[in-house]
Structure formats: C-alpha cells, structure tokens
Structure 1
Amino acid sequence: MTLQLRVYVPPHPLIKHWLAVARDQATPSVLFRSAMTELGRWLTYEAIREWLPTIDTQVNTPLAPCAASFINPEVPLAVIPILRAGLALMEGAQALLPLASVYHIGVVRNEETLEPSVYLNKFPSQFDPQTRVLITEPMLATGGTITTVMGELTQRGIDPAFVRIVSVVASPPALQKLNVTYPGLVVYTATIDETVNDKGYIVPGLGDAGDRTFGT
C-alpha cells in the first residue's frame, strides 16, 4: 500500500476563533501569544486523539471495581518545538502532555535562498524507536524547515508514522513536499492557505509568527 501524507483541518469553532485573532494585524503581541497558546492546545487535542497508546486495566471506585484505561507510561512521548516560533504553541501542547520530554531544535532560513540550516540541536544521539513525537511549527510555508527537522529525527531512529505535526497555517507547496519526502506523516493545521510569495511567506498567512509572539 502506498503511503500518503494525511492532513487534518479540524472544524472546531475555538480553533477558527483563535486563528482569526492571530491573523488580525491589529492583534497586539500579548493577545497573539494567547491565541497561539490556545491554538497549540486545541490542535494538540485533535492530534493526539486515538494516537496515544493506552493500557486496559481495572480500578476500584468507592463502590465497586470497574474497567479503566490509562496512557501507557512505558511508551516515550516527545514534544519538539522548532525554534523560535514553535515555542508559541508549546505551552498549549505541553498542558495536554505534561509528562512528555521536550527537545529543542533551532532552524534559520536564509532570506535570499530560503534554504534552512540548523543552528541548535538538542536531540539525543538516538531515540527509542517507539517514541511518539509531536512537532510544533506554526507555519509550514516552503516545507524546507520541517523536512530538515524530520531528517534529523529519522537519522536518530524515529519512524515518521509515529510523528504528528501541529501547525497553524500550512501551504500547498509545503504539504506537497512533505508528501514526497515523508508520506507517512500526519499534519494537523488550523487552515491551508492559498500560496507562498517570493519571500517564502504564506499568503494571507499571519505574518512572522516568531516576531509577533515575542514582540520583535
């Protein structure tokens, strides 16, 4: 069976609301950060639905025994924010996955060539191959950054089938690139926009997510 990239745009009204707040150029930085936190929370909620491994057991209520399910603590979980913009979604994602390990990677894009390069990598030399990985990256524009990060992960033993990407805005070129290079991936995004301009920005997008988050 041929694998294909799966992309989900959840129709949740809160996701639509906070996306609208984040898009508005009049939104101040403090409110933009709140919008990104909420988008990180609700998109992560959708992304981990039926994804986290569970174990079935039994517990005793004050009245009687009953069947119960817990998230399997033996399966490693990792949250990876791509610096620096990925930190904007981190608080919301981490609220739902408080026991997940957090690994940072910093990627910068050459403004002329649009080619990405890694300037910080805090990944271990090897991951447990069963690790479930959630990547937070607000903008999937050209696809260069996310494919670079995926390359670093697969070199360290991560199966793309165990990866979920949480993004606020995605573009067709980025999704097409991911479908070619890592077709087993699953992406959760608040919206898919029309195009990318010659500077590598998604249009209409929401501007520079890092600058708007940190007020710089």
Structure 2
Amino acid sequence: MASFPQVTVCKHSAIPHLLTPIRDVTTSSVQFAYYASRLMALLAEEAMAMLPAQQVSITTPTGATLPDAVRINTSKVCAVSIIRAGDSLLEAVRKIAPDVHVGKILIQRDESSADKHPVMYYHKFPLGIARMPVILCDPMLATGGSVIMAVNTLLDAGCRAESIIFANVIAAPEGIEAVSSAHPAVRIVTCVIDASLNDNKYIMPGLGDFGDRFYGTEV
C-alpha cells in the first residue's frame, strides 16, 4: 500500500492486547463490547488529540505557573456517527468529552450488489457544524464507500475537509486508498491496518460484523 501522510495508526502498547479478544470468534458479545470499549477509548483520545488546541496559562496546586499548557475546547467539536456500529465509537468520544455536539448519518451498504455500494437513508447535524472540527466515527473502514458518502454529506453541510477526522478501529488498505483519493485532506486515525478485503468486501483477517458483535445481534 502506498504511504498516506494523512493516516495515523495508534501506537498505544495496550492495543495489540485489546485487539486479540475482539478478533477471536469465541469471544461472547458481552466480552466483545467490554474489550472493544476499552480499545475505542484509546482511539477516541488519539482522535481528540488531533483537534486544534489553545495554549493557556494555568496555576498548579503548588502555586507554580505553567504558561504553555494546552486545552481543547470540546464544546465546539462535533462527533458524527455512521449508524449503527459508529454509535459505539461515538459514545467513547462522548465519555471523554461530554460536551461535544452530536450528528448522525445512516448509511447501509447494499449487500445484494456485487460492489456492496452504500445507500444514504438519513442524516441530522447540529446547527453550526460548518464551523466545527468533526470526528467522524465508524469502527470499520472496508471499501470506503460509506465514509466517502458521509464526508460528501458533511461537505454539503459546509464542513471543511481538513477539519474532518475519520476515526476507525480497523482499516483495510483498499478503504484507505479510496478515502484518501476522494478526500485527501480528511485525516484518518485507526488502531490497525489489516491485510486486505475478501471477495465479499469484508476486512481480512478482520473481526466479523462489528455492530452485530457489539450489540449482540448476530444470527
């Protein structure tokens, strides 16, 4: 895969340990949600750290002054989930930044089609989103079709591509290439880049359907 400067891979030492149970087919839905939530907390922190920060002066309890402390104004940030799996990552963002604004996009891929192309059903954004940095949340980046459609929807709402950070747990090289080609200014942050997509456009080795495993709706 080509090198894409807009892609950040989280380097936290706990990530390999947390990926193992959510990849394991024998992991129950309850345990999957537990380990995935811990992993997404690290991912959310990484995405948050990529937002614009202000330098501020603070005084510590010892009376010392720190003139170069940094603070992120999360009340002027919007976290947008691609429903349904993206809601789990959205909640991880909201746990570390309860005052973020929230947006929702419902896109589902057409499983009956050969290319598994995405179909837009619904979106709802807060007023003023065009002036906010956006953390776009979806745990899996496979073909990139849904993400590209979501970014297009955000751009139509007035957002700037360079203000959008797409956060995901696992990415396929094909998806990274598709998103980076369509929207080179959008930054991508992920926990791991897997090998490839299979013929059914699922990430390999992957972890199966994230939403079904997280919410216990596997059949």
- Name the TM-score, length of structure 1 as normaliser: 0.88
Tell me the amino acid that sits aligned with residue 110 of structure 2: N
Q: How does 1:30-45 map onto structure 2 within 5 Å?
A: 30-45=30-45
- The answer for the alignment partner of 1:29 in structure 2 is 29
Cα deviation code 1:21-54 (max 9, x no counterpart): 1111111101111122112210121222252332
- The answer for the alignment partner of 1:154 in structure 2 is 155
Name the CA distance, whole Å, in 2 between partners of 1:50 and 1:11.
14
Corresponding residue SS for 2:85? coil
Cα deviation code 1:95-114 (max 9, x no counterpart): 12211011111111100221
Cα deviation code 1:44-87 (max 9, x no counterpart): 212222523324245585746653543346x7201111110112
Cα offset for 1:179? 1.3
- The answer for the alignment partner of 1:121 in structure 2 is 123
2:58 touches 2:66 (CA, 8 Å); kept in 1? yes
Percent identity over paired residues: 32
Q: Cα gap change, 1:26/1:174 in structure 2, threshold over 3 Å: closer, same or farther?
A: same
Name the CA distance, whole Å, in 2 between partners of 1:71 and 1:88.
22
Q: Cα gap change, 1:59/1:205 in structure 2, threshold over 3 Å: closer, same or farther?
A: same
1:15 maps onto 2:15 in alignment: yes
Tell me the amino acid that sits aligned with residue 190 of structure 2: T
- The answer for the alignment partner of 2:182 in structure 1 is 181
Q: How does 1:57-96 map onto structure 2 within 5 Å?
A: 57-59=57-59, 61=61, 63=63, 67=67, 68-72=69-73, 76-96=76-96
Aligned length: 211
Gaps of 5+ in 1: none
Question: Which moved further from structure 2: 82-91 or 19-28?
Answer: 82-91
1:9 touches 1:188 (CA, 8 Å); kept in 2? yes
Name the CA distance, whole Å, in 1 between partners of 2:59 and 2:72.
14
Tell me the amino acid that sits aligned with residue 35 of structure 1: Y
Cα offset for 1:88? 2.1
Tell me the amino acid that sits aligned with residue 108 of structure 2: V
RMSD: 2.1
Gaps of 5+ in 2: none
Corresponding residue SS for 2:45? helix
Tell me the amino acid that sits aligned with residue 87 of structure 2: L
Corresponding residue SS for 1:104? strand
Corresponding residue SS for 2:14? helix
Cα deviation code 1:97-153 (max 9, x no counterpart): 2110111111111002211112221124x6443311111111100100000000000
Name the CA distance, whole Å, in 1 between partners of 2:130 and 2:119.
25
- The answer for the alignment partner of 1:132 in structure 2 is 133
Name the CA distance, whole Å, in 2 between partners of 1:50 and 1:214.
29
1:194 touches 1:204 (CA, 8 Å); kept in 2? yes
Question: Which moved further from structure 2: 6-15 or 197-206?
Answer: 6-15
